[in-house]
């Protein structure tokens, strides 16, 4: 299964940075991770409803001793639209990154 690291690696590859030094990759990796996080946050802001939060609360009530991420997983899995919106946001982010890379490349020629 692909992980978050794979996503960042893909973005680095899109920007032609996979052969850069480790420290440079780390700098870019952090920035890209922030961007991904922002997009997911945006998507959740746009998508989550009171019903979704109720799902979360129900789970927490029923499972007071489990980690909160299980409740979050339940909430995110409870409605496919949530993941669809996140996915769309990430696809749009990737295109934006690609355009920025293309713009820099064109200007440097």
Partner 1 sequence: MSRGSLSNEVAADADADARYRNMAALSDQGGGAGVEQAANTIFDSLRTAADPILPTDVVHGIRTLRARTFRALGTMIETAGDDRAADIYRLAERGLRDTLVLQAQAAIATQNAGAGLAWTRNLGNRLGSGVRNLVLLVRGGGATAVVTGSGSYEDRLIEQEVERQIDLRFAGLTFDQMAPEDQALIRQQVGRLAPNFIAFDPRNLMQWAANEPSTVIDATTGNSLSYYRLVEVLVGGDYIGSKHTLPVLSLMQKDPAYRARLEEIYNERAAEQPVQLAYNRVRRERSDQDTQKTRIETMIQQIEGALQSMSQIREQQSIYISNRDDAAAKTAEKTALGPVTAANNQARKELEASERAYKQAANTASSNLTRLVGDVKGKYRRLLLAASPSGTAFPSILKMAAGTLSKPTGPDNFVNTFQKLLDVNGSNLGIQPVPTGAATPGLRDQLDQVKDAIEMRNEPYSPTNQPDLYAEGYKDFDDLKRKNDTASSARSTDYVLTPHQLTYNVIYRQLRVQIPPQANPPNNAHRLAVENAQKQAIMETFLLMDRVESDMDEGSTVREARRLSANRIMRLMDSGKRLSFKEFVEDNLAEQDLYKGLKGLTLKTTANEVLQMIREERLKEEHLPELMRQIELLGQDQLEGSGKLNLEEDIRPLHRQLQLAWYRLRAESMLKEAGKTGLTNREEVILNMLKEKAPEAIPPDAQPGMAPLAVATRRESRRRRFFDAIKAKIQELGPDSDDGKLQTRRLGILQQIPSLVLGDMVYNVVANIPDWWRRRRKRKEAAAAASTAPATEETTSETTTVTQVEAEPGEDTEESNVVSLNQEKKKKKKKGPRPPSPSGDAPEALAA
- The helix/strand/coil state of 16 is coil
Using CB under 8 A as the binding rule, the residues of this chain from 21 to 80 that contact partner 1 are 24, 27-28, 31-38, 40-41, 44-46, 48, 53, 55-56, 58, 60-63, 68-69, 72-74, 76-79
Both structure tokens of 72: 């979050």
Number of residues near partner 1 (by CB under 8 A): 69
Asked if 82 and 44 touch (Cβ cutoff 8 Å), the reply is yes
- Residue 59: how many CB atoms within 10 A of its CB? 19
Determine, following the binding rule CB under 8 A, whether residue 18 of this chain makes contact with partner 1. Answer: no
State the nearest-atom distance from the C-beta of 32 to partner 1, in Å.
7
Q: How many helices (H) and strands (E) does the chain have?
A: 5, 0
Q: Considering only residues 19, 22, 65, 108, which one is a binding residue for partner 1 as defined by CB under 8 A?
A: 108
Q: 60 exposed, middle or buried (CB, 10 Å; 0-12, 13-18, 19+)?
A: middle
Greatest distance between any 2 Cα atoms in the chain: 60
Residue ranges that bind partner 1, judged by CB under 8 A: 1-4, 6-7, 10, 14-15, 17, 20, 24, 27-28, 31-38, 40-41, 44-46, 48, 53, 55-56, 58, 60-63, 68-69, 72-74, 76-79, 83, 85-92, 94-104, 106-109
């Amino acid at each position: 299964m692909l992980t978050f690291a794979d996503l960042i690696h893909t973005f680095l590859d899109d920007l032609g940075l996979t052969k850069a030094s480790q420290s440079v990759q780390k700098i870019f990796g952090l920035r890209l991770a922030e961007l991904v996080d922002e997009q997911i946050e945006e998507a959740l802001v746009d998508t989550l409803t009171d019903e979704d939060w109720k799902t979360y609360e129900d789970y927490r009530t029923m499972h007071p001793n489990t980690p909160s991420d299980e409740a979050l997983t339940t909430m995110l899995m409870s409605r496919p639209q949530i993941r669809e919106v996140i996915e769309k946001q990430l696809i749009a982010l990737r295109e934006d990154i690609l355009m920025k890379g293309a713009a820099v490349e064109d200007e440097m020629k």
